[in-house]
Structures are given as structure tokens and as C-alpha cells.
A and B are shown apart, each in its own frame.
Chain A
Amino acid sequence: MPRVAVTGGKGGTGKTTVAANTAYTLAQMGLRVLLIDADVDAPSSSRFLGVSTARVLDVMSFLPAVDPEKCTMCGLCAQACRPHALVHVEGKLPMLFPELCSGCEACKLVCPSNAITDSQKLLGWVNKAEAHGITLVEGELQPTEARSTLVLLKAMEYARSLKSERSYDMTIVDTAPGTHCNVIHAIRGADLALAVTEPTPLGVHDLELILKLTQKLQVRTAVVLNRADLPGGTPEEVERIASRHHTPIVAEIPLDPLVQSSHIQGKPVLELAPSSRAAEAFRTLAKAVLELASAGAFLA
């Protein structure tokens, strides 16, 4: 089953709009769609689709607890702890800064007196919803927690477990902004990446970064030009970068006030205004996605 990652360099280029509306359009065409919101810092797909989710899974991570009876205060755990979550103070039990802990368990592995036992902290959770023929899975980071990667990986793992229960025709992943490791986890192994951008110098700059990244990951990529007719925009710059990276521009979403009001009302553009220019653009996009992700067979 094909997996499509929707990405786009900086935030706010319209990734979530594209991911949610593409998922909705494909579902309308009769496909069973799994939509994963991998932007665990700010998961918003459910709000774009106007659905409420249920928390299905808590994401916990290992946190060391030092047994004062067994600890000899040798300090080896603090030496092994690279993020400095454990600090050794001469003649005292090691001090723990839970917010720095990555849950790697290196401290437990080195402790010569088995003084470190398992404790847990809540990093975030995974939400799920069924609506409009789409199964939505989103990872959500607990505010004030810094380490979002594990929440993302759990959300992806949970989504995979759903696939073994039921077959889907298409998975769409809405990635976090940027080109950091969370984005890589979401893009890696995808059959197609959609790079959403806008015709501004910032859009062009960030598109180039994303295209370099998808090239490195060897994922086939297509560009979606959002707000294509932005006044003062520079679509020819986007075209130049895209063609330099041999990447096609598969859809141009017009600057349509309906897209904005679809955000406000929490409804997909295709539900709110199926005959609008924006809706037409999303239909073109959905067809291109089907083709490029070599899912054409499902339509036959």
C-alpha cells in the first residue's frame, strides 16, 4: 500500500491543508485512507477536518530511579549519561533532571550495583478518529516535554498496527515543518513526497532544502504550489528550483478565501465548496498523487 509524505520546509506553507484535503478527496473517490499527523508539536489535522479524536495510547519513556539502599555513589551513571540528565555530586545520590533524560538506559547498563530501577515519564500520547472515510492517527507531544521523536515513532507504530487489522489503499503522512530528524522519520521509505511551497523567497529557500533532503533519502518527490497566485509572488523562482531538481509541479492551489474559511469552520475545502477553484485543484492533486504513488490499480 503506497505511503505519501506531505512536507514543506517551513511551517505554514499549507502542509496540513494539502494533507487533509488530499486525504478527504481520495476518500471521496472510494479509497480507504489512513492519515497520520506526524507534526507532534502542533497536530492540527483533526481541526482541519472538524473531527474529534480519542486518546488511544500513552507514550511513556524510561526514567531512572536510584535506589538509595543500593547506590554506592560511584558516579558511573552520570559519566555515562550524555545529555547530563544525571549529575554526580561527591558523597550524594546522583541528581536527576528528568526533562533532559532521553530514556536511553545507559545509566542502568553501567551501574555496577544494580541501583537503578525503571521509572516512567509521560512524553505524549496517540489520538485516533474515524470520519469522512478516513482513519486519522495523530501523535501529540506533552507540552513542556522536549523529546518529540519517540511520540512520533509510537504514532507511526500504532498506525502500522492498524494496517495489519484492516487494509488501507493509501497512507498519507503530514510531517512536521523543517528538515530535522522527525521529518526524516516521516519521509523515509515513503513512495512519494509532496513538497508544499508558496511563491515567496522563503518558500523557494525552504523548498530547496526539502528537495535536497528527499533526494538524499531517495524518495520520489513532487511539488505542490500553494497560494499560487499570491500578489507579488515569484512562481517562476519555484519553477526554476523544481526543474533544477528534476521535480514536477503537480498542482497549483489558488489563493482562495474559501481555503481560509475552511480552516475557520474546520471543514475540508471539498466539503465546504466542492465546485470552487481550490477544490478543483485538490482533485487534480489527488489524481496526480494516485498516479505517482503507483496506486492507479485501485481505481480500475
Chain B
Amino acid sequence: MKELVVVSGKGGVGKTSIAASLAVLLSRKLKVTAADTDVDAPNLAIVLGADVRRELDVRSSEKAVVDVSKCTGCGKCVEVCKFSSITLAEGKAVVDRLACEGCGACSIVCPTNAISIVQVKTGEVGVADTEYGFKLVSGHLEIGEANSGHVVTAVKWLARRKAEEEGADLLIVDGPPGIGCPVIASLAAASHALVVSEPTPAGAWNLTRIIQVINHFKIPFMLVVNKWNLSPQYTTALEAIAKQGGGELAARIPVDYTIAEAMAMRKPVVAYKPEAESSKAIAKLADIILERLS
């Protein structure tokens, strides 16, 4: 099974719309399973008009908990906490649950064993049946949690299992924005990456950064420039950056408000209006991807 991860150095460049459309188009040629690893803002289900049923909780976050009856207020825990997450208030240690990394350093030094490290819920993973005939695995992070990488890994685990059950040829993953932990977890063991970018100075800069991450994992990648006609000059610049980074230029998608209309209808643009300019460009992109995958 092949695994294509759609990423972008920064959010809002049309990644989810493109991923949703690609999943629909490619599912007509291959057996496809889709996954959304943007666990901070899982939007693929919305664009596909699907409802996600919870299947499992991710409980990988850990937090320090203080037993106040044992705490003597010595302050040793405060000294060692690297994340400024524990303070003394009225002679007792108090943990800032949102900031605590659960590293356990405080519990190691506490002379009275007043601190224990407990597991808390980090997020949830679920599955949806889409009206396009393929399954979608999606996860979300509990508000204020850190370990989004763990939820991403859980989404990918369940997605691979569902894909195997379905006998899928391709897993399409709509990745998170950025270049940090959840992106790295999304790219883990991927066979191909598709980078979506926009022709602006910020777009060029974010492309450079995401390429460094992709190349670090030695994953072959393709570039798609969304809204390319906003700036043909910057489009050329983006393509030069991708080429230099060893990537392949896959497609240019024009500015097209049909994409926004389609989103309001909770449909991928290729299903909403196949004759739209953006749909035609995405169809070409799907053909190129199909060729590269085989």
C-alpha cells in the first residue's frame, strides 16, 4: 500500500480542499482510505460532508498531581521543573495542568513522595463512511493538550488498519500545517508527499522550511501551487525552490471561488462542479499522482 501525505509549511493554502478532491478522484481508480492528521483542526470530514464516529481515546499525555496532605512546601519540585509548570501557593505545590509536560522531574526530587504522574486524555480518533465510498479516519486533540504527535500517530495507526481491512491501494493523509511535531509524525513512513503552496513571499519561505523536513526523511515529493495566477513570478520562484530541493512540479491550480462555494456545500470542488477551472487542474494533478504511484 502506498501512502501519500499532503502538507504545507503554513495553513490556509487550500491543503484540505485539495486533499479531499484528490481522495474523491483517486477513489474512482484505486481503492482509497483517507486520514486527517490535522488533529488541531480536523476539517477533512467537514469538506467531505461526513460524520465521524469515535473509536478510541488516546491517553498518552501525562501530568503531575500533588497530594497536598504529603506536600511540605519545600519547593524542590519548583527548582527542577524546566517548564515552569509547578509553583508554590500558600505553602503547597500547585501544578499548572495546561503547561505541565509530565516529565516526572518533580516527582523524582520530591522528598515526601507527594507527586505522582498520571495519564490524561490527549485526544480521540474516529472513523467516518463518506458518500464517495471510501472510509475516513480522523482524530482531534483535546483543547489545550500538547502531544498532538501522539494523536497523529494513533490516527495513522487506525487508518493503516482500516486501509488493510479494506484492501486499499492508497492511504491519502491530509496533514497538519507547520513543520513541527505533528507534521513529523504525519510524514513517518509515508511513501510520497504532496506539498501545497501559495505564490507569496511567505509561501516561498514556508516551502523552503517544509522541504528541509521532507528531505530529512528522504520522502519523494511533488509541488502543487494553489492560486498560481495571483503571482506568476512567485509561482516560478516556488517551482525553482521545489526543483532545487529535489521535488517534482505536479500542478498549478488557478484562483477559483468555486472552491469556497463547494466548501459551503460541504463538498469537494471536483464533486460539486467538475467543470470548474480548479476541478480541471486537480483532475490533472490526480492523473500525475496516479502515474507516480504505480
Contact = CB atoms under 8 A, between A and B. Distances in A.
Contact of B41 (A10, A144, A260): A10
Interface string A1-15: 000000001111110
Interface residues of A, number: 63
A143 B212 contact: yes
B74 to A, nearest CB: 15
Interface in B96-153: 98-99, 101-105, 108-109, 117, 141, 143-146, 148-149
Nearest to B177: A11
A47 B205 contact: yes
Nearest to A147: B181
Given A44-B202, A109-B109, A179-B143, A231 B261 contact: yes
A102 B46 contact: no
A264 B201 contact: yes
A40 B227 CA distance: 25
B10 A106 contact: no
A146 interface: yes
B257 A230 contact: yes
A233 B103 contact: no
A261 B141 CA distance: 35
Contact of A102 (B101, B117, B230): B101
Q: Give the size category of B's interface with A.
A: 35 or more
B213 A144 contact: yes
Contact of B201 (A10, A40, A266): A266
B141 A10 contact: no
B205 A44 contact: yes
A181 B99 contact: yes
A200 B263 contact: yes
Interface string A182-208: 001100100000000000111001100
B105 A106 contact: yes
Contacts of B41: 9-11, 177-179, 202, 205-206, 209
A103 B82 contact: yes
Contacts of A239: none
A168 interface: no
B216 interface: yes
A82 B62 contact: yes
Q: Most B CB atoms within 10 A — which of A144, A145, A206, A266?
A: A144
Contact of A264 (B103, B144, B231, B263): B231
Contact of B143 (A41, A212, A230, A266): A212
B43 A205 contact: yes
B104 A181 contact: no
Nearest to B103: A104
Interface string A235-276: 000000000000000000000000011011010000000000
Contacts of B184: 144, 146
A177 B177 contact: yes
Contacts of B257: 230-232
Given A12-B11, A105-B80, A202-B43, A80 B108 contact: yes
Contacts of A10: 11-12, 38, 40-41, 43, 177
Q: Most A CB atoms within 10 A — which of B99, B102, B202?
A: B202
Given A12-B11, A42-B206, A176 B178 contact: yes
Contact of B234 (A145, A188, A231, A264): A264
Contacts of A180: 40, 141, 144-146, 148
Contacts of A16: 202
Contacts, number: 191
A12 to B, nearest CB: 1
Contacts of B261: 231-232
Given A41-B177, A41-B179, A149-B146, A201 B46 contact: yes
A153 B81 CA distance: 14
Contacts of A184: 98-99, 144
B42 to A, nearest CB: 9
Interface string B259-271: 0111111100000
Contacts of B16: 202
B179 A209 contact: no
A141 interface: yes
A125 interface: no
A12 B103 contact: no
A62 B83 CA distance: 12
A141 B144 contact: no
A158 interface: no
B263 A102 contact: no
B9 interface: yes
A108 B260 CA distance: 53
B148 A41 contact: no
A5 B143 CA distance: 17
Given A48-B202, A181-B99, A263-B201, 11 more contacts: A42-B202, A80-B108, A82-B62, A82-B117, A181-B145, A185-B99, A202-B46, A232-B261, A233-B260, A234-B264, A264-B231
7 contacts: A41-B178, A47-B205, A106-B108, A202-B46, A205-B46, A261-B230, A264-B230
What 7 A-B pairs are tightest by C-beta distance, nearest first?
Answer: A12-B12, A11-B11, A178-B40, A41-B178, A232-B261, A104-B103, A10-B41
